[in-house]
Amino acid sequence: MAKQLKAIKCPNDELSLTNCAIVNPREFDTTVRHIEVTGTSDKFVFTLKADQSVSLGEIGFSAVQRKWAMISIETKILVRPFSYDLATQSISLLTLEIDFLSKKSATLDPFDSDLMARDLLQQFSNQAFTIGQQFAFQLTDRSKKIFLVTVKTIESSDLRSVLNNNQSTKSNKIFSGQLIPNSGIIFEKAEGSSLNLTGKSKGKMQHQSIINPDWDFTKIGIGGLDNEFNTIFRRAFASRVFPPELIQQLGIKHVRGILLFGPPGTGKTLMARQIGKMLNAREPKIVNGPQILDKYVGESEANIRKLFAEAEEEEKRLGPNSGLHIIIFDEIDAICKQRGSATGSTGVHDTVVNQLLSKIDGVDQLNNILVIGMTNRRDMIDEALLRPGRLEVQLEISLPDESGRLHILQIHTAKMREYGKLDSGVDLAELAALTKNFSGAELEGLVRAAQSSAMNRPIKASNKVTLDADAVEKLKISRDDFMNALENDIKPAFGVSAEDFELYIRNGIVLWSQAIRDVLEEGQLRIHQTIKSEMTPLVTILLEGKPNSGKTALAAKIAMNSQFPFLKFCSPQSMISYSEMAKAEAIKKVFNDAYKSELSCVVVDEIESLLDYAPIGPRFSNFVLQTLKLLFKKLPPKGRKLLLIATTSEKELIKELGLYQSFSKVIHVPNISRGEEILNFVEQMECFSKQDMDVLNRQINSKTLSIGVKSLLDVIELSQQTTDVYRVAKFVDALEDIGGLHD
């Protein structure tokens, strides 16, 4: 509704610097933010501010405003409420001409345009601006300099495209718009001015939105994390693009915390460090978790308070118009352990967690912060930190898939390709396929190892180390360099324990009977079930049989046949002298590591030994038993599959302890029980001559016995130590002693 108001001077200098039209609080409804003034020649838009020093029926303007709008004091002007379409008239980029308001205050001292842009956003956020508009702008630093600013150009982006996740946002030139906290500001020195501007916000520059869908991830050295970045943008930053009043109308609270977790070397820290560079926000504060801790009482909590002090001060001063403050905690598990879990009487960790909780989501909530925590051990973080309102966006940064590995390799070989130092025979797609379960850091290490291998070629080591200059010029990193690095230098932490598996099958698998073929065929069937089935992400097999029957070797062979990227042995030999709790933790770690891979196989060898079972007594570890029971039944996370192969020589014990029903298939591994099976075995081993085999055939073909594969291999090795004349006799005598040959 239009009104006739009398124009007057601004009541005081402080109100003059607000760039607002001043009216009595009862003049307009509180919902009216802007007004349109009809002057002598045109219409002008001003932002309203209420103050009791102005009488009803009057409206105050500063001298700069009156000059721009050509408004005379004591004249009646037509005023009507005005509002912007925030979706299309929110300013994305504001270009300003600036000069000293008074020539007497001119100086040659440099002024940081970035700090000036921050000050201007803080003072005039959500105000109306029109091309040609002039206003006074005072710095908040010690200089208190006042400048005359003229609006040169205004650009806006269609915010609806951000909500709709469009691939590109088009900037439009507009005549008038509303400044928002994330607007870009560019200062250009007015013609003839002596003003000395420094910083990135001076002159013409390309504006980048807070969310740039066309962001090139190769520029920041992170590969394979496109989906993770998109999730962070959608959850944490999209709401911060819009004006505060729109956020209030929707009842939205900004996300104040993100937790990045996952295996070491997957890019968590690198991602967090780059977030600040992609945002129109303060320089992020980056702290390592252990740096917070202090030996003096109360200092650890004080260190937490210092991190939030600047954000608190700005929140009190500017409210919803405050800029975004990013605080990054690396290794956050060092300071945010479960309360009550830490040993000792100081309780420092508990009070640090309490202090952090109060700052993120306490009584006096801060809405201008974003806390990013990173950890390899999400399970150690206090649960109170993980609920909504705190570190509510929890994102797993997992091992990269094949396309992600290719992307990472492309990033780390970019310089070599640019300068022609990568041999044409190097196929990065092949390397990506070969490096299953490599983390980003391990892939970078692989490239460095290949470079090191290539750089050793031109070095001639004799009495003196010399460098072949011609070879240096021709130096290229070849496929052989990468293969050598793969084979000898870099092994993935979440890959295949090749040494363990090769140790158990170093003599190969001898198919001495159909029973052994059946075991391997059943194992192959279970491998296919693990890969293809959507209903059974956990497949469990138990190989049971007498001691020395070859159960462990068969389990290792089945695991190797799977060619899964993660193969791990959980063996009692690696846990000698472990306490019950340490053994349970070690077993749990093997399974937790397996869950990080899409396809995993874990071999749990000699269950009875893991349980510390002793038949005299008997006794066993109930703590380890309960751990195994839970882990054998626990389904892997969504999208992950696990093949579990266990071995035991105590089938009845496993039944009594309640572990037997945890397995989807129990396979019996028999001992060698007939003479013809021994003949098949030694024939495949090729350890006797044809004449010796004929003698053996006559002596043991129709005999029966019971002997394990390991024992038979020992007998064969023993017989090989004698002369040819006595070799067969020694072999048969040893079989009599161990297996008991019978007719």
Say what the pLDDT of residue 24 is: 92
Task: Please state which architecture CATH assigns to domain 217-396.
Answer: 3-Layer(aba) Sandwich (3.40)
Q: Which pairs with CB-CB distance under 8 Å and at least 24 residues apart come from 468-476?
A: 475/421, 476/420, 476/421, 476/422, 476/423
CATH for 90-198, options being 3.40.50.970, 3.10.330.10, 1.10.3720.10, 3.40.50.300: 3.10.330.10
Say what the pLDDT of residue 205 is: 37
For 3-82, CATH gives: 2.40.40.20
Tens-digit pLDDT profile for residues 175-187? 888 998 888 899 9
Distances (CA, A) of 70 to 65, 78, 321, 494: 8, 13, 31, 73
| CA-based nearest residue to 349, from 321, 307, 381, 388 | 381
How far is Cα 462 from Cα 471, in angstroms, rounded to an integer? 17
Say what the pLDDT of residue 60 is: 94
Say what the pLDDT of residue 211 is: 44
Domain ranges of the chain: 3-82, 90-198, 217-396, 402-489, 498-668, 672-739
Roughly what angle, to the nearest 10 degrees, separates helices 580-594 and 622-633?
10
Say what the pLDDT of residue 165 is: 56
Say what the pLDDT of residue 40 is: 63
How far separated are the first and last CA of the chain, in Å rounded?
116
Alpha helices (H) along 533-634: 551-562, 580-594, 607-610, 622-633
Q: 17: helix, coil or strand?
A: coil
Tens-digit pLDDT profile for residues 127-153? 999 999 999 999 988 888 999 999 999
Q: Collect the ranges in the chain with pLDDT lower than 50.
A: 167, 204-218, 343-345
CATH for 402-489, options being 3.30.1330.10, 3.30.1490.190, 3.40.50.720, 1.10.8.60: 1.10.8.60
Topology alike, domains 498-668 and 672-739: no
For 672-739, CATH gives: 1.10.8.60
Q: Which residue has the tokens 């299309």?
A: 88
Say what the pLDDT of residue 262 is: 81
CATH superfamily of 498-668: P-loop containing nucleotide triphosphate hydrolases (3.40.50.300)
How far is Cα 48 from Cα 15, in angstroms, rounded to an integer? 11
The full DSSP string for 282-318 is: PPPEEEEHHHH--SSTTHHHHHHHHHHHHHHHHHHHH
Say what the pLDDT of residue 280 is: 57
Say what the pLDDT of residue 626 is: 92
